[in-house]
Amino acid sequence: MALIQPIKTPPLTTFTVPFVAALAGFFGLFVGIANGSGILGLLVGAVVGAVLAYALVSFVPDKRTGTLISLAIFAVVGLLLAGLSGLVGGAIIGFILGWFTYWLHSGKYRMGVPIYSTPREVLWHNSYKFICGLIFFFLIAPIITVMPLSFNAENFFTFTPGMLALDPEAYSLKHYRDFFGNPDWQQALRNSVQIAPAATLLSVTLGTLAAIGLSQPHVPFRRAIMAILISPMIVPLIISAAGMYFFYSRIGLQGTYVGVVLAHAALGIPFVIITVTATLVGFDDSLTRAAANMGANPVTTFFKVQMPLILPGVISGGLFAFITSFDEVVVVLFVGSAGQKTLPWQMFTGLREQISPTILAVATILVGISILLLTTVELLRRRSERLRGMSPG
Amino acid sequence: MTDATSGPDVNSGPTPDNALREADAAEKKGPMLAADGTPLKKSLMRALRREKLRALMLIAPLLIFVLVTFIAPIADMLFRSVENEIVAETLPRTVVALEDWDYASGEAPDEDVFAAFYVDMVEAEEFKVHTRLGSRLNYETTGISSLFRKSGRGVGRMDTDEYTDAFIDLDPAWEDPAVWMELMAADTTSEILPETNSAWDSWLRILKENDDNVAEEEPEDFLYAMLYRDLTRNSDAVAAYDGPQAALLQAAAEATADIPEVSIKEQFLDIDDDWGDTEVWGTIKAFSPKYTSGYFLSSVDLKLTPDGVEQQPDNQKIYLLLFKRTMFMSLTIMVSCILLGYPVAYLLSNLPMRVSSLLMILVLLPFWTSLLVRTSAWKVLLQQQGVINDILVWVGLVADNNRLVMINNQFGTIVAMTHILLPFMILPLYSVMKTIPPSYVRAAKSLGATPWTAFWRVYFPQSVPGIGAGSILVFILAIGYYITPELVGGTTGTFISNRIAYHISSSLNWGLAAALGTILLVVVLLLYWVYDKIVGIDNVSLG
List phi, psi (to 5°) of B490: 60, -140
Confidence band (pLDDT; 50, 70, 90) for B456?
very high
Top-confidence residue, A140 or B105: A140
Helix (H) or strand (E) holding B333: helix B319-350
B70 and B201 housed in the same domain:
no
Task: Judge: B371–A277 Cβ closer than 8 Å, yes or no.
Answer: no
The Cβ of residue A257 has, within 10 Å, a number of other Cβ atoms equal to: 16
- Is residue A392 pLDDT above 80, yes or no? no
Report pLDDT for A146. Answer: 86
Task: Judge: A157–B524 Cβ closer than 8 Å, yes or no.
Answer: no
Task: Judge: B395–A242 Cβ closer than 8 Å, yes or no.
Answer: no
Q: What Cα–Cα distance (Å) separates residue B228 from each residue in A372, B152, B192, B222?
A: 81, 23, 12, 10
What is the total residue count of chain B?
543
A130, exposed or middle or buried, with CB in 10 Å at 0-12, 13-18, 19+?
Answer: exposed
If contacts are CB pairs under 8 Å, which of residues 140-199 in chain A contact chain B? Answer: 140, 142-143, 145-146, 149, 156-159
B413 and B485 housed in the same domain:
yes
For residues A301 and B54, give the distance between their C-alpha atoms in angstroms, rounded to a whole number: 15
Residue type, B406: M
| Interface check A251 vs B, CB under 8 A | no
pLDDT in tens, A44-82: 888 988 888 888 888 888 888 888 888 888 888 888 877
Mean pLDDT calculated for residue range A203-211 = 93
For residues A308 and A317, give the distance between their C-alpha atoms in angstroms, rounded to a whole number: 15
Which stretches of B81-160 are DSSP H helices?
A: 85-90, 92-98, 111-127, 130-138, 144-154
pLDDT in tens, B168-197: 888 888 888 888 888 888 777 778 888 888
Task: Judge: B396–A238 Cβ closer than 8 Å, yes or no.
Answer: no
Mutate to test the interface with A, among B9, B340, B369, B415 (most CBs of A within 10 A): B369
Helix (H) or strand (E) holding B184: helix B177-185
Give DSSP secondary structure letters for A173-205: SHHHHHHHH-HHHHHHHHHHHHHHHHHHHHHHH
| Interface check B536 vs A, CB under 8 A | no
Confidence band (pLDDT; 50, 70, 90) for A7?
low
Mutate to test the interface with A, among B18, B20, B69 (most CBs of A within 10 A): B69
- Is residue B140 pLDDT above 80, yes or no? yes
In a domain, B303, yes or no: no
Q: Are strands B541-542 and B302-305 parallel, antiparallel or unpaired?
A: unpaired
B276 and B408 housed in the same domain:
no
- If you ran DSSP here, which 8-state letter would residue A6 be given? P
Domains and CATH numbers, chain A: 12-116 (no CATH), 182-355 (1.10.3720.10)
Q: At what angle do helices B353-368 and A358-387 cross, to 10 degrees?
A: 130
Of B313, B278, B477, the closest CA to residue A330 belongs to: B477
CB within 8 Å of A242: residues ≥ 6 apart: A334, B77, B500, B501, B504, B513, B514, B517
The answer to whether ipTM exceeds 0.90 is no
Task: Name the minimum distance, in Å, from the CA of B179 to any CA of chain A.
Answer: 42
A357 contacts A150 by C-beta, under 8 angstroms? yes
Of A194, A204, A243, the closest CA to residue A343 belongs to: A194
B376 contacts A363 by C-beta, under 8 angstroms? yes
Top-confidence residue, B158 or B419: B419
Q: A95-99, A340-344, B250-254 — which is least confidently predicted?
A: B250-254
User: Cα–Cα–Cα angle for A307, A312, A314, nearest 5°?
Assistant: 65
Task: Judge: B69–A262 Cβ closer than 8 Å, yes or no.
Answer: yes
The Cβ of residue B370 has, within 10 Å, a number of other Cβ atoms equal to: 22
Task: Point out the domain boundary residue: B207, B235, B258.
Answer: B258
| Interface check A281 vs B, CB under 8 A | yes
Instruction: Please give the interface size between A and B, counted as residue pairs whose CB atoms are below 8 Å apart.
Output: 313
For residues A360 and B542, give the distance between their C-alpha atoms in angstroms, rounded to a whole number: 27
B436 and B329 housed in the same domain:
yes
Task: Judge: B11–A285 Cβ closer than 8 Å, yes or no.
Answer: yes
CATH code for the domain in which residue B457 is found: 1.10.3720.10
B33 contacts B40 by C-beta, under 8 angstroms? yes
Task: Judge: B375–A351 Cβ closer than 8 Å, yes or no.
Answer: yes
A189 contacts A343 by C-beta, under 8 angstroms? yes
For residues B390 and A164, give the distance between their C-alpha atoms in angstroms, rounded to a whole number: 12
For residues A363 and B270, give the distance between their C-alpha atoms in angstroms, rounded to a whole number: 62
A269 contacts B528 by C-beta, under 8 angstroms? no
- Collapse the DSSP code of B145 into the 3-class scheme (helix H, G, I; strand E, B; otherwise coil) and give the result: helix
B191 and B94 housed in the same domain:
no
A301 contacts A288 by C-beta, under 8 angstroms? yes
| Interface check B59 vs A, CB under 8 A | yes
In a domain, B297, yes or no: no
B38 and B110 housed in the same domain:
no
Report pLDDT for A203. Answer: 95
B410 contacts B329 by C-beta, under 8 angstroms? yes
Top-confidence residue, B426 or B106: B426
Number of domains in chain B: 4
Q: What residue in A sits closest to B2 (Cα-Cα)? A: A278
pLDDT in tens, B280-301: 888 888 888 889 888 999 888 8
Across the interface, of B70, B368, B419, the residue whose CB is closest to A142 is B419
Task: Judge: B373–A366 Cβ closer than 8 Å, yes or no.
Answer: yes
| Interface check B381 vs A, CB under 8 A | yes
The Cβ of residue A375 has, within 10 Å, a number of other Cβ atoms equal to: 12
Mutate to test the interface with B, among A93, A137, A235 (most CBs of B within 10 A): A235
In a domain, B392, yes or no: yes
B149 and B270 housed in the same domain:
yes
Report pLDDT for B7. Answer: 41
Mutate to test the interface with A, among B57, B70, B518 (most CBs of A within 10 A): B70
Top-confidence residue, A214 or B187: A214
Task: Judge: B66–A245 Cβ closer than 8 Å, yes or no.
Answer: no
Across the interface, of B371, B376, B481, the residue whose CB is closest to A327 is B371
List phi, psi (to 5°) of B82: -120, -15
Contacts of A127-132 with C-beta under 8 Å, sequence gap 24+, read: A128/B343, A128/B347, A129/B347, A131/B343, A132/B343, A132/B344, A132/B347
- Collapse the DSSP code of B39 into the 3-class scheme (helix H, G, I; strand E, B; otherwise coil) and give the result: strand
Three-class DSSP labels, B507-530 = CCCHHHHHHHHHHHHHHHHHHHHH
In a domain, B227, yes or no: yes
A chain contacts of residue B479, beta-carbon cutoff 8 Å: 236
A25 contacts A49 by C-beta, under 8 angstroms? yes
B439, exposed or middle or buried, with CB in 10 Å at 0-12, 13-18, 19+?
Answer: exposed
Of B492, B113, B488, the closest CA to residue B326 belongs to: B492
If contacts are CB pairs under 8 Å, which of residues 78-117 in chain B contact chain A? Answer: 80
If contacts are CB pairs under 8 Å, which of residues 477-516 in chain B contact chain A? Answer: 477, 479-483, 486-487, 497, 500-501, 504-505, 510, 513-514
Task: Judge: A138–B537 Cβ closer than 8 Å, yes or no.
Answer: no
Report pLDDT for B2. Answer: 39
Task: Name the minimum distance, in Å, from the CA of B286 to any CA of chain A.
Answer: 25
Task: Point out the domain boundary residue: B80, B107, B140.
Answer: B80
- Is residue A383 pLDDT above 80, yes or no? no
| Interface check B378 vs A, CB under 8 A | yes
Task: Judge: A242–B479 Cβ closer than 8 Å, yes or no.
Answer: no
Mean pLDDT calculated for residue range B16-30 = 68
B70 and B202 housed in the same domain:
no
Percentage of chain B beyond pLDDT 70 is: 94
CB within 8 Å of B266: residues ≥ 6 apart: none
Task: Judge: B370–A363 Cβ closer than 8 Å, yes or no.
Answer: yes
Mutate to test the interface with A, among B12, B20, B51, B66 (most CBs of A within 10 A): B66
Point out which residues pair with A19 in neighbouring strands: none
Across the interface, of A329, A374, A377, the residue whose CB is closest to B372 is A329
Task: Name the minimum distance, in Å, from the CA of A58 to any CA of chain B.
Answer: 33
| Interface check B119 vs A, CB under 8 A | no
For residues B20 and B16, give the distance between their C-alpha atoms in angstroms, rounded to a whole number: 6
A49 contacts A22 by C-beta, under 8 angstroms? yes
If contacts are CB pairs under 8 Å, which of residues 180-209 in chain B contact chain A? Answer: none
In a domain, B295, yes or no: no
Mean pLDDT calculated for residue range B362-375 = 88
Q: What residue in A sits closest to B408 (Cα-Cα)? A: A352
Task: Judge: B514–A370 Cβ closer than 8 Å, yes or no.
Answer: no
Top-confidence residue, B236 or B334: B334
B274 contacts B138 by C-beta, under 8 angstroms? no
B323 and B410 housed in the same domain:
yes
Give DSSP secondary structure letters for A263-330: HHHHHHHHHHHHHHHHHHHT--HHHHHHHHHTT--HHHHIIIIIHHHHHHHHHHHHHHHHHHHHH--H
For residues B40 and B453, give the distance between their C-alpha atoms in angstroms, rounded to a whole number: 64
For residues B2 and A393, give the distance between their C-alpha atoms in angstroms, rounded to a whole number: 15
- If you ran DSSP here, which 8-state letter would residue B447 be given? T
Mean pLDDT calculated for residue range A163-191 = 86
Alpha carbon B172 to chain centroid distance?
Answer: 55
pLDDT in tens, A246-291: 999 999 999 999 999 999 999 999 989 988 888 887 788 888 889 9
B215 contacts B177 by C-beta, under 8 angstroms? yes
Confidence band (pLDDT; 50, 70, 90) for B14?
low
Mean pLDDT calculated for residue range A229-248 = 92
Task: Name the minimum distance, in Å, from the CA of B119 to any CA of chain A.
Answer: 29
| Interface check B77 vs A, CB under 8 A | yes
In a domain, B309, yes or no: no
In a domain, B313, yes or no: no
Q: Residue B210: give the domain boundaries.
A: 161-258
Q: What Cα–Cα distance (Å) separates residue B348 from each residue in A141, B110, B536?
A: 19, 78, 24
B140 and B238 housed in the same domain:
no
Task: Judge: A128–B11 Cβ closer than 8 Å, yes or no.
Answer: no
Computed over every residue of chain B, the mean pLDDT equals 85
Cα dihedral A69, A70, A71, A77 in deg (nearest 10): 110
B247 and B358 housed in the same domain:
no
pLDDT in tens, B70-83: 999 999 999 999 98
* CA-based torsion, B49, B52, B58, B64: positive or negative: negative
Across the interface, of B4, B76, B379, the residue whose CB is closest to A281 is B4
Task: Judge: A235–B386 Cβ closer than 8 Å, yes or no.
Answer: no
B104 and B171 housed in the same domain:
no
